[in-house]
Amino acid sequence: MPDAPRSLAGSAGTLCSAHDVALLDLDGVVYVGSDPVPGAPAALRTARESGLRLAFVTNNASRTPEQVVERLLGVGVPARPEEVVTSAQTAAHVLTDRLPPGARILVVGAAGLVRALEERGLVPVRSADDEPAAVVQGFGPEVGWAELAEASYAVGRGVPWVATNTDLTLPTPRGRAPGNGTLVAVVQATTGVAPVVTGKPDVAMHREAVERSSARRPLVVGDRLDTDIEGARRGGVPSLLVLSGVSDAADVVLAAPEQRPDHLAADLRGLLVEHPRVEAEPAGTARCGVWTAVCAASGLTLRRHRTGRRDDGLDALRAACVAVWSTPAPPADRAGVAAELRRHLSRAAGPPRGKAAGVRGAR
């Protein structure tokens, strides 16, 4: 993994002009539930018109590429199945590399996972008594006790186990719902075995997306530090965190080194603009536009100056990130950091996210 950034990257032009493919997460980035993230369809249309190619990369293994396209069309985003990359496809690829053609795979998941296995010449089965060569587990809204029990029986007998991802949560218009990681945890707690995980942030998922999109200068765009951004860092490519989904302002300021993005934006309109440089001053101090952030053991302080460039409402957050990231011992009081950000980021909340709208404080 490359060295962790201590600053955010500025851009001489728009991100569209600097990259050939945007590797876009879906839930919380393009849509939430059945609704588009405000501004996302128009931003992606403009990005395409500027020459940026799009790949839709999701850890959600439940849908086939055609179903993902149908979902995208439903929120006003044109797409083709070949532009979709799922964690189910990645898991199937990994299993193909390890098993002979025609191997039986016990499936815990939905149609997207079954389809991905069949495309790779593997045979999906649903019972541990079918002598599977491996178990693969991905998200499916209908997965219940019986499926988890079959997986536990097989894994308990020593059958290799692959999980498409371990996202603990899934954003919905009503709030956060349990993700695949919660279901994986059931099998792990039952068997005492940990799976091989192939989705984001694993580098296998990044390689699958780059290979399928033929990207040469990719930009990873996501809403989660622990999957999208960490996956980009493992793959050694730049990333854009949008604040329209799971990770919030306090999360990014206090992010672990391996989860720090290169760029920040409220939503996908961040693809269409230049990104400012942050001036790093002495350790623990940074300035971006009219904002100066100072980080000390006692906490984070933001100050606004009278003169400076007009910003997109995120310069205070950018300054805060660099101030904290350059401090050997960042503040431990997350609630205090969140409160300071909340005081100054009312215009940087990003689009509504159901009941989780706005720049959230401590969770």
Q: What are the residue numbers of the active site?
A: 25, 27
| Cα-based angle 269, 272, 277 (whole degrees, multiple of 5) | 100
Match 């100072």 to its residue by tokens.
294
Q: Cα dist. 54→84, 141, 201 in Å? A: 9, 27, 19
65 upstream amide cis, omega within 30 of 0:
no
CA quadruple 257, 261, 265, 267: dihedral positive or negative? negative
For residue 104, the cross-strand partners are 123
User: How far apart are alpha carbons 222 and 83 in whole angstroms?
Assistant: 16
Cβ atoms within 10 Å, residue 136 = 31
User: How far apart are alpha carbons 307 and 288 in whole angstroms?
Assistant: 12
User: How far apart are alpha carbons 100 and 331 in whole angstroms?
Assistant: 52
User: How far apart are alpha carbons 117 and 16 in whole angstroms?
Assistant: 34
**Ramachandran area for residue 135 (φ above 0: left; ψ -120 to 50: alpha; else beta):** beta
Supply the Cα-derived Rg of the chain in whole angstroms.
Answer: 21
Q: For residue 286, which phi and psi values (nearest 5 degrees)?
A: -150, 155
